[in-house]
Structure 1
Amino acid sequence: MLEYFKTILSKVSFDRWLFEKELKKAINSLVPDEILNLRDWCYEKFSHMYESILDKCFPQALV
């Protein structure tokens, strides 16, 4: 599932709203270890575009 969500996020990264929607869906579907992996990957790949979205979504998932 993790690789699936990485693919989806890459494909919707052109749209801020879709990216956030799919990121939330991924966080709700993955287990904690996968969420940490996804977080690291997202910050590496998308922080230049969507750092505020990443900051907003990931703390909620890791609490």
Structure 2
Amino acid sequence: MLEYVKTILQKVSFSRYLFERELKKGLRYLMPSEIEEFRDWCYEMFGRLYLPILNRYFRPAY
């Protein structure tokens, strides 16, 4: 499921609204063990473009 959610986010990354909606949905589908890897990937791929959205849905990693 992790790879599926990543694919969807890449396809909708042109739209802030769609990106946020799909990120929220994707987090519901993932297992807790996948969330950390997904968070890291999201910040690496979309951190410059959608940092405020990512910060809203992920706790900062300390």
Q: Answer whether TM exceeds 0.5 for this pair.
A: yes
Q: Does 1:47 align with 2:47?
A: yes
1:11 and 1:33 map into 2 onto residues whose CA distance is 24
Tell me the alpha carbon deviations over residues 19-63 of structure 1, each in whole angstroms, 9 at most, x when there is no partner. Answer: 00000001111111111111000000000000000000113xxxx
**Percentage of identical aligned residues:** 59
TM-score normalised per structure 1: 0.89
Q: CA RMSD in A?
A: 0.7
Q: Which residue type is aligned with residue 12 of structure 1?
A: V
2:56 and 2:43 map into 1 onto residues whose CA distance is 12
Segments of 5+ residues of structure 1 without an aligned counterpart are none
Q: How many residues align?
A: 59
1:29 and 1:7 map into 2 onto residues whose CA distance is 14
2:53 and 2:18 map into 1 onto residues whose CA distance is 11
TM-score normalised per structure 2: 0.91
Larger relative contact order (C-alpha < 8 A, sep ≥ 6)? 1
1:34 and 1:2 map into 2 onto residues whose CA distance is 7
